[in-house]
Amino acid sequence: MLTLREFLRDTRGRLGKVGAPEPRLEAEVMLSDVLGVPRHRLYAYQDDAIPEEAVEALEKVVRRRLEREPLAYILGHREFYGVDLTVGPGVMVPRPETEMLVERALLVCLERMDRAGLVVADVGTGSGGIAVSLAMHLPGVALYATDISAEALEVARANVEKFGLGPRVTLLEGDLLQPLPGRVDVIVANLPYIPSGRLEELQPELAWEPRGALDGGDDGMGLLRRLMGQAAGKLADDGVILLEIDPGQGETLRRLAGRLFPGATTSVEEDLAGLERLFVLESR
């Protein structure tokens, strides 16, 4: 017999030993998922025995996780901005830091709600988390979600359909802004921005994720630069560009913006850890 308390304690220890970053949280998420009990309710049943079939299912999950396969791939879903997104190999696992980009994009759109037919593009949509979250909170807005990966777009499509957003989120396959049929008011993007040489130094979980979703080239900024170049022809007057960035990339983008969008205002915003996380451009 294995109680919930014992599972949580043992699993926390096993995950901690291999260096998994959030062992306690992950042990709870596994248990909650397999038992179908909300995480905040688990502690009410701590001394109950876990049914035998569930113990076997949990052991399979733990073993895969000990190989550092991302938990979101093992369970097939991940919460992002309060939405339960389907995810799987072929698509990057949405990260909590990207919720800052969603918050900022919501603010930008709400400030412009007086404009009829506001159009937003989520570039490099991956699992579609940014586009889905924006569509859910902004009923009057039309969205395009682009990605170069057909596999990622399949996952994005599953998420768009799961939440009944099909009529408002148009998925387009292609390079950055090229597939967009016209100008858009807001461009939001969490594109690959990690310098190629740093990828090997990062958490082993990244090896499970598609390289094309992470690798930003020599200095990590290849795609960001190209996006800025394409944006000059795709951003509406008074449009806004919001880019998630790696700390240290803001100044290069500001200089580039100065050449491509003379007269635009730019800023670099920090996350809660005080790290540069967002580049914001408002064109005139």
Ligand X SMILES: C[S@@+](CC[C@H](N)C(=O)[O-])C[C@H]1O[C@@H](n2cnc3c(N)ncnc32)[C@H](O)[C@@H]1O
CB of 169 to ligand X, least distance (A): 13
Q: Point out which residues bind ligand X (CB under 6 A).
A: 92, 94, 98, 124-127, 129-130, 146-149, 152, 175-176, 190-192, 212-213, 223
Q: Which is nearer to ligand X, 13 or 229 (CB)?
A: 229
CB of 124 to ligand X, least distance (A): 3
Tokens standing for residue 58: 């949990």
Q: Which is nearer to ligand X, 6 or 151 (CB)?
A: 151
| C-beta atoms surrounding 202 within 10 Å | 11
Q: If you count DSSP H runs as helices and E runs as strands, how many of each does the chain have, helices first? A: 9, 9
Name 36's Cβ contacts closer than 8 Å, sequence gap at least 6. Answer: none
C-alpha–C-alpha distance, residues 178 and 64, integer Å: 39
Q: Which is nearer to ligand X, 23 or 124 (CB)?
A: 124
Name 28's Cβ contacts closer than 8 Å, sequence gap at least 6. Answer: 8, 39, 42
C-alpha–C-alpha distance, residues 5 and 24, integer Å: 12
CB of 88 to ligand X, least distance (A): 12
Q: Is the CB of residue 177 less than 8 Å from the CB of residue 230?
A: yes
Which stretches of 140-207 are DSSP H helices? 150-162
CB of 260 to ligand X, least distance (A): 18
Give the end-to-end CA distance of the chain in Å, rounded to a whole number: 67
The DSSP call for residue 205 is G
Q: Which is nearer to ligand X, 86 or 127 (CB)?
A: 127
Distance of CA 158 to the CA centre of its chain: 15
Q: Which is nearer to ligand X, 86 or 98 (CB)?
A: 98
CB of 127 to ligand X, least distance (A): 6
R_g over Cα of the chain: 20
Q: Which is nearer to ligand X, 82 or 258 (CB)?
A: 82
CB of 54 to ligand X, least distance (A): 30
